[in-house]
Amino acid sequence: MSIPRLPPLPSIRDILKLYRLNAVKRLSQNFLMNQNLIDKIIAKSGHLTGGQVLEVGPGPGGLTRSILKRIPKRLVVVEKDTRFKPTLEMLADSFGAINGRMDIIYDDIMKTNLESLFPIEEKRNWDDKSPDIYVIGNLPFNVSTPLIIRWLHAIAERRGPWAFGRTKMTLTFQKEVAERLVAEVSGHQRCRLSVMAQAWTFPVLRFIIPGKAFVPQPDVDVGVVSFTPLVKPRTQHDFKLFEKITRHVFSFRQKYSIRCIETLFPLYCRKELGLMMYKLSDLDPTLRPTQLTVNDIDRLATAYKYLVEKHPEIGLYEYRASRHLLTLNNTKDVVVQDYTEM
Ligand code: SAM
């Protein structure tokens, strides 16, 4: 049986010229023009043939074409900028001509309900192999970091595409962010993002794309990262609790981690409860934040939960809020600065 092929299409460069699609700075648009690199991203995204694919930010459709060439059962694209309507509709029509289905949603990915996008037949148990659903996106840098945090939260709670099982995703990030996502314990890139990503997924930095492969050229290179949700996450804690502990752990990177953990508590009991957290977790208080494993942070979260259950008023304490109250008595300017920092 012959594999269906897309009808010939004008090049992305011609489409950009034809519809006068200049990159919009406000939407951080940088279009990938190198076909080999586009195909490489799509090849690393999984076996898309016959699968359900969600592409975020298709723009003029470079990655979209490469996805369609693999003949997925269905492709859904979510694009905020409606200027791409003619080119995306042309792709949907071409795919329709070979009996494929491509749906276009013009929306902000941060607001799109993703759970309703996939058919229930695709659902797998969490500990089965990943479902035939693939999430792919060459996103603007200002969207990709908040989006990955939002999606890690969804993975932890098995919502959205993760209500169907351990859906894989392949996304692009600014190179430094990509390196942070995969940074190992004691690595100089190790940070809050590394811990959060590695608590629920197995992130792999696939390759780096030089900035010059994009039009217009961004100031930085780009890293392609794939994420597979873990069968057994490295923490069983609620996302928000684990995020709170991780955020505090990395509040002063160069200090002993106990100094960071102490900020979880009001001044009058900070030293005592900080030390108790390390005793309960059986951890060395002189470890630096970057030396703590995900498992260590999980143990600290367990100790914190135990202390909050015993003394619920501790859980209400917010380090930043207390700084705000302190500065309130001093100058107005400091208070404003404190808010803008948040
Ligand atoms: N995928 C195309 C490529 O690789 O050439 C375009 C990449 S460009 C970096 C990012 C795309 O995401 C743009 O088309 C932009 O309009 C779109 N975009 C930006 N913010 C978005 C959002 N919040 N929701 C959906 N799409 C968004």
Residues 158-167 have pLDDT tens digits of 999 999 999 9
Query: How close is the Cα of 205 to the center of ligand 1, in Å?
Result: 21
Pocket test for ligand 1, best of 143, 145, 147 (most atoms within 8 A of CB): 143
pLDDT of residue 4: 77
Percent of the chain's residues with pLDDT above 90: 79
Regarding the beta carbon of 32 and ligand 1, being less than 6 Å apart is answered yes
pLDDT of residue 325: 40
pLDDT of residue 162: 98
Distance CA 215, CA 68 (A): 22
Pocket test for ligand 1, best of 12, 13, 22, 29 (most atoms within 8 A of CB): 29
Q: Please check the confidence at residue 287 and state whether its pLDDT lies above 60.
A: yes
Structure tokens at 136: 């792919």
Distance CA 162, CA 181 (A): 20
| Cα dist from 19 to 88, 214, 234, whole Å | 12, 19, 48
Instruction: Return the residue whose CA atom lies nearest to atom 5 of ligand 1.
Output: 31
Query: How close is the Cα of 328 to the center of ligand 1, in Å?
Result: 41
Distance CA 23, CA 76 (A): 22
What are 205's strand-pairing partners?
225
Regarding the beta carbon of 172 and ligand 1, being less than 6 Å apart is answered no
Regarding the beta carbon of 79 and ligand 1, being less than 6 Å apart is answered yes
Distance CA 275, CA 290 (A): 19
Closest atom of ligand 1 to 30 CA is 9
Q: Please check the confidence at residue 103 and state whether its pLDDT lies above 90.
A: yes
What pTM, to 2 d.p., does this model score? 0.90
Instruction: Return the residue whose CA atom lies nearest to atom 6 of ligand 1.
Output: 59
11 pLDDT tier (thresholds 50, 70, 90) = confident
Query: How close is the Cα of 160 to the center of ligand 1, in Å?
Result: 20
Q: Please check the confidence at residue 328 and state whether its pLDDT lies above 70.
A: no
pLDDT of residue 26: 67
Note the pLDDT tens digit of each residue in 181-225: 999 999 999 999 999 999 999 999 999 999 999 988 899 999 999
Gap between the terminal Cα atoms of the chain: 58
Distance CA 65, CA 271 (A): 58
Regarding the beta carbon of 63 and ligand 1, being less than 6 Å apart is answered yes
Query: How close is the Cα of 57 to the center of ligand 1, in Å?
Result: 3
pLDDT of residue 21: 76
The pLDDT mean for the chain works out to 90
Regarding the beta carbon of 29 and ligand 1, being less than 6 Å apart is answered yes
Please name which of 211, 138, 210, 130 lies closest in space to residue 171, comparing C-alpha atoms.
Answer: 138
Pocket test for ligand 1, best of 104, 136, 138 (most atoms within 8 A of CB): 138
Note the pLDDT tens digit of each residue in 14-34: 877 776 777 777 677 889 989
Distance CA 18, CA 188 (A): 46
Range in 143-147, 286-290, 332-336 the model is least confident about: 332-336
Q: How far is CA 312 from the centre of its chain?
A: 32
Note the pLDDT tens digit of each residue in 116-131: 999 999 999 999 999 9
Regarding the beta carbon of 139 and ligand 1, being less than 6 Å apart is answered yes
Section 79-107 average pLDDT: 95
Closest atom of ligand 1 to 142 CA is 20
pLDDT of residue 1: 57
pLDDT of residue 2: 66
Distance CA 208, CA 279 (A): 42
Query: How close is the Cα of 143 to the center of ligand 1, in Å?
Result: 9
Closest atom of ligand 1 to 172 CA is 9
Q: Please check the confidence at residue 289 and state whether its pLDDT lies above 80.
A: yes
Instruction: Return the residue whose CA atom lies nearest to atom 8 of ligand 1.
Output: 29
